[in-house]
């Protein structure tokens, strides 16, 4: 069974509309997916949830922080009407809005006076994030490509990087729990931590109510999968998989094209 529980639509920083994401998942042979936009569940309000030819698990990717690092937690199988969840999402959206304004102010100091308006237009109603500013800089001709926009301006330590005070791991896990969902640590290898530090993160995450780890995130090496599977077993946590899809043409994050979980992992979808 092909599942993919980490992907993005135009409701955050993805390229495709929610229905187009689902259509692509169907074409790729997926049985279950979750659209997990950043700090929003707006995709689910745009869909006819009763007529989809695929099992759609409600989800969201929450930004949080740990020891000065931005960490992401995927919430799966959420009650989208839970008051605690809605309050938490409002909190996150306010933080995102404030960050976007500060990024725009930083870019203005470097001559890009219309950066906020340009990013807002590209966001098409979604919350404005760094990818929208990157696309604006590309379209303006200030940089050659998306990666260069981050390398010159938007990555950590660069002129327009803004550190955001996200909700804590405990807060995010409490929102997910109150919505009846499952909290999954997203793409643990992307944080580029030592294994000792990663174990410390997982310990705190589990103590806060987390119960799953993305054992597979996009196209990764078998040895990486074995390490993440061992980490999940060590902490008695369930395993999830996700492509982290944002747009077509990125083979490292291709929707639905994910290796199967190792047999000794307990899949998170066994819960539903």
Question: Whole-number mean pLDDT of the chain?
Answer: 95
- Asked if residue 248 has pLDDT above 90, the reply is yes
Specify the pLDDT at position 163: 86
pLDDT band at 268 (very low <50, low <70, confident <90, very high): very high
DSSP secondary structure, 173-203, as one string: HHHHHHTT-EEEE--GGGG---HHHHHHHHH
Domains of the chain: 3-88+168-271 (3.20.20.140), 97-154 (1.10.150.650)
- CA–CA distance, 15 with 109 (Å, rounded to integer): 29
Query: Residue 178 corresponds to which tokens in the numbers above?
Result: 């109150």
- Asked if residue 134 has pLDDT above 90, the reply is yes
Q: What is the pLDDT of residues 93-126, one digit of tens each?
A: 999 899 999 999 999 999 999 999 999 999 887 8
Specify the pLDDT at position 123: 87
- CA–CA distance, 150 with 161 (Å, rounded to integer): 9
pTM: predicted TM-score of the whole model, two decimal places: 0.91
Count Cα atoms within 13 angstroms, Cβ side, for 158: 17
Q: What is the pLDDT of residues 20-32, one digit of tens each?
A: 999 999 999 999 9
Closest CA to 39 of 10, 25, 59: 59
Burial grade of 74 (CB within 10 A; 0-12, 13-18, 19 or more): buried
How would you classify the pairing of strands 238-242 and 32-33? Answer: unpaired
Contacts with 1 (C-beta within 8 Å, 6 or more apart), sequence order: 31, 32
């Amino acid at each position: 069974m092909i599942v993919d529980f980490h992907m993005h639509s135009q409701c955050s920083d993805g390229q495709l509309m929610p229905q187009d994401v689902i259509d692509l998942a169907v074409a790729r042979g997926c049985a279950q997916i979750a659209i997990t936009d950043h700090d929003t569940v707006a995709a689910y309000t745009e869909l006819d949830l009763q007529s989809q030819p695929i099992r759609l698990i409600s989800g969201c990717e929450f930004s949080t922080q740990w020891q000065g690092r931005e960490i992401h937690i995927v919430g799966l199988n959420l009650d989208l009407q839970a008051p605690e969840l809605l309050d938490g999402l409002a909190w996150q959206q306010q933080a995102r809005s404030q960050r976007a304004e500060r990024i725009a102010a930083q870019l203005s100091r470097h001559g890009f006076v219309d950066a906020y308006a340009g990013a807002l237009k590209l966001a098409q109603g979604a919350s404005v994030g760094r990818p929208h500013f990157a696309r604006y800089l590309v379209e303006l001709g200030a940089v050659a490509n998306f990666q260069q926009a981050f390398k010159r301006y938007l990555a950590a330590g660069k002129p327009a990087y803004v550190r955001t005070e996200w909700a804590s791991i405990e807060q995010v896990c409490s929102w997910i729990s109150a919505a009846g969902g499952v909290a999954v640590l997203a793409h643990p290898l992307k944080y580029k931590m030592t294994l000792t530090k990663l174990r410390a993160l997982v310990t705190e995450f589990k103590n806060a109510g987390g119960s799953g780890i993305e054992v597979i995130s996009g196209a990764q090496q078998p040895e990486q999968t074995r390490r993440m599977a061992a980490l999940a077993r060590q902490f008695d946590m369930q395993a999830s998989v996700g492509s982290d899809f944002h747009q077509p043409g990125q083979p490292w994050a291709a929707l639905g094209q994910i290796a199967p979980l190792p047999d000794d992992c307990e899949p998170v979808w066994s819960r539903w």
